[in-house]
Structure 1
C-alpha cells in the first residue's frame, strides 16, 4: 500500500465527514480521522488489504463515525457506543448502503470498547477497535513511520481529556447511558468518586501524550 492522507471519495464518504465535523469537537473529530489512518496501517501490517473481508469504505465509515455517540446528535439515552452506532447506521442508510454492510459498521462501532469481543466478530470490528487503540498508544510501533505526518495534519488537541469529558457528560444523562461495567458508566463513577479517570491517568504513558 502506498499510504496517503486521502479519504475515500463519493457522497457517502462526504456525508460521514460532514456529520462528524458538525457534531463533534475538533479534538474528537481528529481522533476519529486518525483512527481511520491507523486502522489502514494496521491492515497493511497484518497483510489484510487483499482480504475479501477488507473494505476501505466501510472501515472509513466505522472508524470516523465511531464516536458519534458523544457528539451533539446524541441524547444520552443509551450507552454511547450503541447510540453512535445507531446514528452511523442512519447516515449509511440515507446513502443507499446495503443493509448487510450497515450492520457490519453498526457492530464495529457498538463493539469498539469491548476487548476480546470485537476481535472475534469480524475483520472490520477488529480493525476499527485496533485503529482506535493505536490512537491511545497501543501497538504504536505499527504506525511509527507515519504517525508524525498524521498527527501534524490532525493534531491531538488534548484528545483524551476532551473525549473523557464528552463520554462522562453523556453517561450522566440517564441510567441507560451508564450501565455498570460499560466504559461510560465506569468513567462516570471514577469522575464522581476520584475526580479523574483511569483513561486520563493512562494517557501519561501514551507515546504521543493525550
Structure 2
C-alpha cells in the first residue's frame, strides 16, 4: 500500500467526518481519524487489503465513529461504547447502508474496549480495536514509518485526558452508563477515588505522548 493521508470520500464518509467534528472534542476527533490510518496501515502490513471481508468505507465508519458515545449526541443512558454504536448505526441507516454492514460496524464500535472478544469477531472488529490500540501506543512499530505525518496532520492535543474526561462525564449520568468492571465504570470510580485513572497514568509511557 502506498500510504496517503487522503480520506475516503462520498456522502457517507463526509457525514461521518462532519458528525465527529461537530459533536466530539478536537482531541477525540483527531484520535478517531488517526485510528483509521493506523488500522489501515495494519491491514496492509498483515495482507488484509485483498481480504473479502475488508471494506475501506466500513473501516472508516467504524474507526472514526468509535468514540461517538463520548460526544454531544450521547445522553449517558448506556455505556459509551454501546451508545456510540447505536448512534453510528442510525447514521449508517440514513445513508442506506445494508443492515448486515450496519451490524458489523455496530459490533466493531461496541466491542472496541473488549480485549479478547473484539479480535475474534471478524476483521472489522479486529482492525478497529487494534487501530485504537496503536494510537494508545500498543504495537507502535506497526505505525512507526508514518506516525509523524499522521500526528502532524491530526495532533494529539492531550487526547488521553480529553477522552477520559468525556467518558467519565457521561458515565456519571446513569448507572447503566457505568457498569462495574466495564471501562467507563472503572474510569469513573478511579477518578472519584484517586483523581486520576490508570489510562491517564499509562499515557506517560506511550511513545506518541498523551
Please give the TM-score of this superposition, normalised by the length of structure 2.
0.99
| Matches of 1:97 and 1:169, distance apart in 2 | 31
Give the match's secondary structure for 1:63. Answer: helix
Which residue matches 2:56?
56
Which residue matches 2:165?
165
Which residue matches 2:96?
96
Which residue matches 1:18?
18
Deviation by residue 1:16-75 (Cα, 9 ceiling, x = unmatched): 001000000000000000000000001011111100001000000000000000000000
Deviation by residue 1:84-135 (Cα, 9 ceiling, x = unmatched): 0000001100001000000000000000000000000110000000000000
Q: Where do 5+ consecutive residues of structure 2 fail to align?
A: none
Aligned counterparts, 1:107-146, within 5 A: 107-146=107-146
Give the match's secondary structure for 1:148. Answer: helix
Which residue matches 1:30?
30
Quick check: 1:149 aligned with 2:149? yes
Deviation by residue 1:119-164 (Cα, 9 ceiling, x = unmatched): 0011000000000000000000001000000000000000000000
Give the match's secondary structure for 1:85. Answer: helix
Q: Where do 5+ consecutive residues of structure 1 fail to align?
A: none
Shift of 1:185: 0.1
Which residue matches 1:206?
206
Shift of 1:9: 1.1
Aligned counterparts, 1:169-188, within 5 A: 169-188=169-188
Q: Structure 1 segments of 4 or more deviating over 3 A?
A: none
Which residue matches 1:44?
44
CA RMSD of aligned residues (A): 0.4
Please give the TM-score of this superposition, normalised by the length of structure 1.
0.99
